[in-house]
Chain A
């Protein structure tokens, strides 16, 4: 196999996974998008009318954008894990690329589910937040990086689960943990030191911080970005090892 073969096979695999996400697994995108479209109908308006002096809508809507990421990125891993237990994954295992690369491509594509949902919520929130390049970049970067971390953390949680019914329970619980153990509706700095560190380990926590700072002050904070990358990379690696392990032991 030459370089051109690797490129062609990689392209075929990535485009196949995207088609899978947009055609066969489109519910991963449409279901959370619909929920958030409903959530965005009157909540931001109410918040603006109620707490405009303190910019309440900016704080809460930022949290809702990252909740969009969580809802998009938290369901996909379970189907991903169940599919690994099924014989249909044999098709992917026939692809002439290292199996970790095959899984990596699938994971990178699946994680875009979180990005699409959060971008959708961000678009709906534009009338309240206003457009800025910093906010767009922060949403894209933070959502995708957080999606990778969320995806892997949830993969770890669902590692032993083998049927769809139980998966839905784990998915609901995981979404609750990811959402409410992160500073969705308050800034991280108000928490006491030890609690702040613990909350920072939750994949979406620093993503909320990054997006909120970009939206409120118009700057992308490099320190928060670096820390967010580090935390999510750690979760990503741990979860990735678990998924490869599951594949090896099926």
Chain B
């Protein structure tokens, strides 16, 4: 299935080594959407960083539009790279982060800051330091780079991670639109993203490109590529339901916990404390909650008000279909489930 064409178009990897990537080889067309599909730790992010020219390969050849993206700065000007994390300095504001990206974009490819900010609903956040944003807001900030540099080569790492349903829809729509005129190479472990984009698939496992499928071929094979289901939800956990982590342990190896965190801001808000009202530098920045211990490291122990629930953000991988429905039922028993999303993920 490896297609051979001229090396002056699209992205070419030939026997590339770096970190967990052990001899990755593939080629893409000049335009269209390609998804690097593979489980966590398979080397997808490293492949994208190498393609974006921010990492130097230990060995092998990488060409983007016929140019070496690490050594040839001209190639970098024709690449938009959306990382999995916001690449900001400590205390850097959202406005400064986006302006820098826009200002370092060659003139022919510059987008409009206002448009990007408005598309991803970042109005009012430009003066905020990046570290104060939620995970979803950070992802939207990083994704807005797609509208700031309109490049012919676009590399996006986990475009839908941490996004709510509206953010996810917008991200997919935008990527689909951009893939009409540019090459979009994105990394994900969500199979549904492939379907939504109708993208060709580059399967990566243990640092090696295992196979390349056209979308039509992928549709026939998607069941085999599936390794489980990703369940993302916000749960208003009832205090009497016990520790969420202990509850999830009951599922043993059928459920892998990717993320389990208490949303401290939402918890405080439910208690009538709004961090947003505390001005530019709120004095409360960390809240320590230890329900098991009778000793609190600091602060005051108080009785939870009647009806108080603990807002918990969950990201779980469930390895079989039967467990998914059982788990959702159990979660609904433990609290109020909001913004539930279940997607298929690669194995």
Contact = CB atoms under 8 A, between A and B. Distances in A.
B104 A1 contact: no
Interface in B153-182: none
Contacts of A8: 103, 107
A66 to B, nearest CB: 30
B148 to A, nearest CB: 12
A88 B88 CA distance: 6
Interface centre among B49, B77, B89, B105 (most CB of A within 10 A): B89
A5 B77 contact: yes
B76 A96 contact: yes
Contacts of A13: 104
Nearest to A20: B89
A1 B70 CA distance: 17
A1 B72 CA distance: 12
A96 B108 CA distance: 13
Q: Which size class do B's interface residues fall under?
A: 20 to 34
Query: Does more than half of chain B's interface fall in helix, strand or loop, or is it mixed?
Result: loop
A249 B87 CA distance: 19
Contacts of B92: 24
A56 B215 CA distance: 82
B83 A90 contact: yes
A23 B76 contact: no
A250 B81 CA distance: 19
A90 B49 contact: yes
Contact of B76 (A88, A94, A248): A94
A16 B253 CA distance: 48
A94 B73 CA distance: 9
Contact of A96 (B56, B96, B100, B104): B104
A49 interface: no
A13 B53 CA distance: 18
A3 B92 CA distance: 29
Interface in B82-100: 83, 85, 87-92, 96, 100
13 contacts: A1-B74, A4-B107, A5-B77, A20-B89, A24-B90, A83-B89, A87-B83, A88-B89, A90-B81, A94-B79, A94-B81, A96-B105, A248-B56
Given A8-B107, A16-B103, 18 more contacts: A1-B74, A5-B106, A8-B103, A9-B104, A24-B92, A83-B89, A88-B88, A88-B89, A90-B49, A90-B52, A91-B101, A94-B53, A94-B76, A94-B104, A96-B76, A96-B104, A96-B106, A250-B55
